[in-house]
Amino acid sequence: MKVYFETLGCPKNANDTEMAQGILEDSGHIVVDNPMEADAIVVNTCGFINDAKKESIDKIFEMADYKETEERKRTLIVSGCLSKRYGEELFEELPEVDIFLGVNEYHKLPEILDNFHAEREMHFYDANKEFVEIKSRRLLDNPYSATIKIAEGCNNVCAYCIIPHIRGHYRSRRMEDILQEAQQLAESGCVELILIAQDVTAYGQDLYGKFALAELVRQLCKIEKLKWIRLMYCYEDRITDELIEVMATESKVCHYIDIPIQHASDAILRGMNRRSTHNSIVSTIGKLRTAMPDIHIRTTLITGFPGEKKQEFDELYDFVEEMRFERLGIFAYSKEEGTPAATMKGQVRADVKEKRKDSIMRLQLEISLVKNQEKIGKTVEVLVEEQDEEGVYIGRTQYDAPEIDNSVVFKTNRVLKPGELVNVKITDAFDYDLVGVEE
């Protein structure tokens, strides 16, 4: 059977899709790049916030248009977070969909497809079982950058977040399985390895009785062909001195860290059920910048959480101005049913949430421009990603995660391939991008 995938949402979803594709190919199915060529279409959805849910529903309807054509009748499958969260409702409301899967069912996909006939089906398995180890994975022809999932699920009970209900409790992968997959990725041409989980800093506590991320990173650094190791989704209160020391001393670890702090007001952080405080965040950022003066910190913030008044927002705004994060994303609070925050008093009007979000983004734009201008005249190592035009390429520094952060547009007299690392002298800077020439 020929199967086409549409993937929405975060890198963790993209990683799930690659695993599902590998499983299908190992079982004799064929993954195709065009829905018109497919016998089955899989839409791997996101259901985290309202905008993501709407995008997922729109994509399901778009793919439903391919269900039946003159050439063939196609099976439509919806998987992922939206499917797991709203499976029963969607089953009633979307008769166009033949099969609904959750987030832990991909290892069952070949069997489900092989046995499906005409009766619509739902398949949701226990999200709280131990990590399901999948040895198959479909990669691009030149997988110079790849994610590696080190855990599934989440034990943090942030008041605004539904993810623990969707993906279950935290389950770490065995270190030896992670290292084996990382070695295989390196042998396939991967030079940048991106560690992902709902909370990478919680890695190992359930298996080894202690936080083991620092040790995992040390072991990954021993894989010869890997050049960059990047940490995403780190919780501030679990960034240990040992982890900072490993980041500072292991040359392969990018001086980049993603820490979604969400807010800076202690009152709002308590309401969010976060363990961090204003002072602990400032302290951790100080430790990181002392150990690695060139570190680029990415964070994510939420405006308009219930109870956020002008005073709390002003505290957040002043904090962003003071901390001057190199990378920052921001969302207006999304009221998600089934979460404690959805029933809290002090819900903030939508227009106020958006106005506050836009205000911080304008501030961050100014900060980003200044920090980029500081790089003019400096030479940076750039990972080549694509050719823009003859003699012009687009790439990223170690300080930029793929499809999230800044790019470097540079000229060269050489012919380069994606995945090569080159030295580029920066000649100009904009809000979010750099311009340069290969040295």
Q: What pLDDT is recorded for position 431?
A: 94
Give the amino acid at 216.
L
Print the domain residue range for 431: 379-438
Residue 133, domain member (yes or no): no
Assess whether 208 and 335 both reside in one domain. Answer: yes
Output the pTM of the full model: 0.91
Q: Are 166 and 200 in contact (CB under 8 A)?
A: no
Domain count, the chain: 3
Percent of the chain's residues with pLDDT above 70: 98
Assess whether 286 and 421 both reside in one domain. Answer: no
Q: What pLDDT is recorded for position 129?
A: 65
**Whether residue 251 has pLDDT greater than 70:** yes
91 vs 194, residue with greater confidence: 194
Query: Taking residues 373-378, what's their average pLDDT?
Result: 98
Closest CA relative to residue 294, chosen from 378, 212, 383, 222: 378
Structure tokens at 309: 């008044």
Assess whether 383 and 369 both reside in one domain. Answer: no
Q: What pLDDT is recorded for position 128?
A: 58
**Whether residue 230 has pLDDT greater than 80:** yes
Cα(228)–Cα(233) distance, integer angstroms: 17
Assess whether 220 and 114 both reside in one domain. Answer: no
Binding-site sequence positions:
10, 46, 81, 154, 158, 161
> CB under 8 Å to 286, separation ≥6 — which residues?
none
Q: What pLDDT is recorded for position 242?
A: 98
Residue 137, domain member (yes or no): no
What b/e sequence results for 154-175 when a residue is b if at least 16 CB atoms lie within 10 Å of its CB, and e otherwise? bebebbbbbbbebbbebbbbeb
128 vs 231, residue with greater confidence: 231
Assess whether 83 and 161 both reside in one domain. Answer: no
Query: Taking residues 362-384, what's their average pLDDT?
Result: 98
Residue 128, domain member (yes or no): no
Q: What pLDDT is recorded for position 126?
A: 57
Query: Taking residues 245-253, what's their average pLDDT?
Result: 98
Assess whether 362 and 216 both reside in one domain. Answer: yes
Q: What pLDDT is recorded for position 125?
A: 61
Residue 138, domain member (yes or no): no
Q: Specify the range with the lowest mean pLDDT, choosing from 15-19, 201-205, 242-246, 252-256.
A: 15-19
- Residue with the two structure tokens 């800077």: 429
Assess whether 49 and 95 both reside in one domain. Answer: yes
376 Cα distance to chain centroid = 29
Residue 410, domain member (yes or no): yes
Assess whether 119 and 39 both reside in one domain. Answer: yes
Assess whether 180 and 62 both reside in one domain. Answer: no
Cα(199)–Cα(398) distance, integer angstroms: 21
Q: What pLDDT is recorded for position 26?
A: 94
Q: What pLDDT is recorded for position 122?
A: 79
CATH code of the domain containing 80: 3.40.50.12160
**Whether residue 61 has pLDDT greater than 80:** yes
**Whether residue 27 has pLDDT greater than 70:** yes
Whole-number Cα distances in Å, 413 to 391, 392, 416: 6, 9, 9
Domain boundary at 351, 373, 395, which? 373
Cα(134)–Cα(128) distance, integer angstroms: 16
Q: For CA atoms 160, 163, 166, 172, give the dihedral sign.
A: negative
CATH code of the domain containing 190: 3.80.30.20
Q: What pLDDT is recorded for position 280?
A: 98
Domain boundary at 65, 88, 123, which? 123
Residue 192, domain member (yes or no): yes
Assess whether 258 and 242 both reside in one domain. Answer: yes
Cα(9)–Cα(321) distance, integer angstroms: 29
Assess whether 74 and 209 both reside in one domain. Answer: no
**Which 3-state string (H, E, C) describes the chain?**
CEEEEEECCCHHHHHHHHHHHHHHHHCCCEEECCHHHCCEEEEEECCCCHHHHHHHHHHHHHHHCCCECCCCECEEEEEEHHHHHHHHHHHHHCCCCCEEECCCCHHHHHHHHHHCCCCCEEECCCCCCCCCCCCCCCCCCCCCEEEEECEECCCCCCCCCCHHHHHCCCEECCHHHHHHHHHHHHHCCCCEEEEECCCHHHCCHHHHCCCCHHHHHHHHCCCCCCCEEEECCCCHHHCCHHHHHHHHHCCCEEEEEECCCECCCHHHHHHCCCCCCHHHHHHHHHHHHHHCCCCEEEEEEEECCCCCCHHHHHHHHHHHHHHCCCEEEEEECCCCCCCHHHHCCCCCCHHHHHHHHHHHHHHHHHHHHHHHHCCCCCEEEEEEEEEEECCEEEEECCCCCCCCCCEEEEECCCCCCCCCEEEEEEEEECCCEEEEEEC
Assess whether 345 and 389 both reside in one domain. Answer: no
Q: Per-residue confidence at 244, pLDDT binned at 50, 70, 90? A: very high
Residue 132, domain member (yes or no): no
pLDDT digits (tens, 9 = 90+) for 262-321: 999 999 999 999 999 999 999 999 999 999 999 999 999 999 999 999 999 999 999 999
Residue 139, domain member (yes or no): no
Q: Are 6 and 14 in contact (CB under 8 A)?
A: no
Binding-site sequence positions for [4Fe-4S] cluster:
10, 46, 81, 154, 158, 161
Q: Per-residue confidence at 127, pLDDT binned at 50, 70, 90? A: low
CATH code of the domain containing 414: 2.40.50.140
pLDDT digits (tens, 9 = 90+) for 392-412: 999 999 999 999 999 999 999
Q: How buried is residue 103: exposed, middle or buried, by Cβ count under 10 Å (0-12/13-18/19+)?
A: buried
